[in-house]
Amino acid sequence: MRERVSVKAGVVRGRVPWVLAVPAAVGLAFLVLPLAGLLVEAPWGTLGARLAAPQVLDALRLSLVTATIATGLCLLLGVPLAWVLARVEFRGRRVVRALVTVPLVLPPVVGGVALLLVFGRNGLVGQYLGFQLPFTSAGVVLAEAFVAMPFLVISVEGALRGTDLRYEEAAATLGASRLTVFRRVTLPLVAPGIVAGAVLCWARALGEFGATITFAGNFPGRTQTMPLAVYLALETEPEAAIVLSLVLLAVSIVVLAGLRDRWIS
């Protein structure tokens, strides 16, 4: 009897061939087993006491504050940048888009070195600032914003490209200025994309390690975020590293569950 196959939303549904099912199952196990290992090896009996430790609370507080400020900075700069990339035709736009996405593939440590060369005490820009950015909490924010902003820009640009331009054209025809159209029409239309991009940006900033430790260092209470605390605890107290990792894992799961399929589409 011929196998019944239904087609819905462009996706063919039917029996999955084993040549695809087996690698898929292995790939899923490869991704899930390390996470399951954290749950199995976690010191559940002392979890509460370890989470209440002063150094853990300091690292968590600093991570939440810096990631939130970095996300705000990314929104302030990234949304206009995404609008320019999506709406304005200019020479070199592809090059600019490529430069915006470079931090996605650039090793974070290299990003930290680049930040030092530009914003360091003797850097191209840092020598004229009059204050020090490296090895400060502000440096943590800068490093996190550098690696996280592409997530926001890509998400918002995609949302802008998917909107119906007729609404903006109608508002402009009625006499609205370019800024008014952007504020009253464009932003509400792309609000879901902005929210999704901001959440991904915040989660990426929260988990940033390489650029942070290179540019801001690892000073408890000042620049030691949760990922840096995990790295330090892994050398001296592995169980504490597992507990800190569980916190970051829980945050990641909550973020992805909240976004559902929005970040994929």
Rg (the chain; Cα; Å):
22
pLDDT for residue 52: 83
- Angstrom distance (rounded) from CA 206 to CA 117: 24
Give Cα 182 to chain centroid, integer Å.
25
pTM value is: 0.84
- Angstrom distance (rounded) from CA 84 to CA 232: 41
- Does residue 194 register a pLDDT over 80? yes
Question: Which ranges constitute the DSSP H helices of 124-190?
Answer: 137-161, 165-173, 178-181, 187-189
pLDDT for residue 236: 82
The total of structural domains in the chain comes to 1
**pLDDT band at residue 11, thresholds of 50, 70 and 90?**
low
In a domain, residue 17? The reply is no
In a domain, residue 26? The reply is no
In a domain, residue 84? The reply is yes
In a domain, residue 41? The reply is no
In a domain, residue 29? The reply is no
Domain that holds residue 102: 47-259
pLDDT tens profile 166-186: 888 888 888 888 888 888 888
- Angstrom distance (rounded) from CA 72 to CA 205: 11
In a domain, residue 31? The reply is no
Q: Give me the CATH number covering residue 242.
A: 1.10.3720.10
- Does residue 15 register a pLDDT over 50? yes
Q: Which helix (H) or strand (E) holds 21?
A: helix 18-41
Q: Which residue has the higher pLDDT, 141 or 43?
A: 141
In a domain, residue 40? The reply is no
pLDDT for residue 151: 93
In a domain, residue 99? The reply is yes
**pLDDT band at residue 260, thresholds of 50, 70 and 90?**
low
